[in-house]
Chain A
Amino acid sequence: MTRPAEALPTQEMLINMGPQHPSTHGVLRVLLRTDGEVVVNARPDVGYLHRALEKIGERVTYAQFMPFTDRLDYLASMNCNCAYAWAVEKLAGIEVPERAEYIRVIVSELNRISSHLIAFGSFTADMGAFTPFLYSIRERERVNDLFEDLCGNRLTYNFARIGGVSADLPPGFLEKTKEFLDYFEPKIDEYNKLISYNKIFVHRLAKVAVITAEDAIAYGLTGPNLRGSGVRFDLRRDEPYSVYPKLDFDVCVGSGERGALGDCFDRYMVRINEMRESVKILRQAIAQIPEGPVAAKVPRVFKPPVGEAYFRSECPRGETGFYLISDGTGNPSRLKIRTGSFVTMNIFEKVTVGLMIADIVAVIGSFDIILPEIDR
């Protein structure tokens, strides 16, 4: 006769979702202990991409560190560049000309769109729908073309400088950006029709890894992950920097429209809606951008006054914070980088208890982590 399930001896499996895996968005190792298909414990093991950026920061000058911030989050390279530049300017009290600030906002928002496109594409590819990834790459190619026009690079731009940006916009750039925005905005609705509300897709994500608002704040989640749990907090609105006070946009929050508030689907929809908001911001910035210089006069041997400053900015993956300590010399005394993905991994172990292995992939994708940010 049948025995009750508890009497059957079972053994947990220790599976290594190794550093090389198509879905871990980089070299992330997750040690899964599963009871069949159900995960009992999932412990992330990071550090495979540690390149000692903070130590390097102490050996190079402030200006020389800019290319390293590209590699901090290579999909949102402009955002990291600008975040570092703003942090140093806060430390030294440098005033940035307005045109430079507008240019920084324009490239940051364009990069936010392209970063969210990759997040959307790779997430759907992980879920098994391979096609949207190629559509988002097609859109991203146009953004890459714009950036290539601007600074010559397609991925790691090294565009911002302390005090401004490295070069002015080439002629025709704003018109081409406007063309791109007109082309791109209806695409978001197309993606929603194609995949976002597809029944299978929704069922894969609804009610998976629900994070409450209190948990999200306590565990340090930031960016779309925090807003997916319903917390209406966006650094561009609540701690405004640069020219964001002059721009009008909505803060997208998850609404629990399919499943529970704070599940994977909410975080995914926040990113889709943020792309729309970025388009709005871009249109306003293009309309408002003034003429003027694109860089402030910063001494060649740049020595900020003794002091400490912490500046955080809204990057596509959360908030990127730079804690800079200056001892009066040309090199930073301490350069601490606080990235959204690193702190998001705090909650990973807690949220994956009881999920199935297929859901782990969904969780990693919905957090939109990227390993260079985690490991620095």
Chain B
Amino acid sequence: MELVDLRYTKTHEWIHLAGDVATIGISEFAVRQLTDLVYIELPAIGRELSAGEAFGEVESVKAVSDLYAPVSGEVSEVNAALAEDPSALSDDAYEGGWLLRLRTSETDLSRLMDQAAYAAHCAAEDH
């Protein structure tokens, strides 16, 4: 999974689509903004999500943030190890830091930001 192939939401989730499997996580920028992570709540396997629906939350000592589904689909896998130890996200927000996988019928991610657009989005937010 190459960073450059990921797409991003305005709410800092990243998504990697391979066939009908979407892997979803949160960006390194988001992890850095949150600081020390203490808790992650992930959905149950089998749950149906709509694009934009809040599917869980990530809690740090500073804030609790909702996590939003970039696409619609059915939850097929969750990263249980990460739920046990959310601090692992600060080391690796991408490969090992995936949060969940959805089985999706969506194929067109062009509405989501590519890496360059996302970097610009973060620069604008990060003042």
- Do the two shown chains form a genuine complex with each other? no
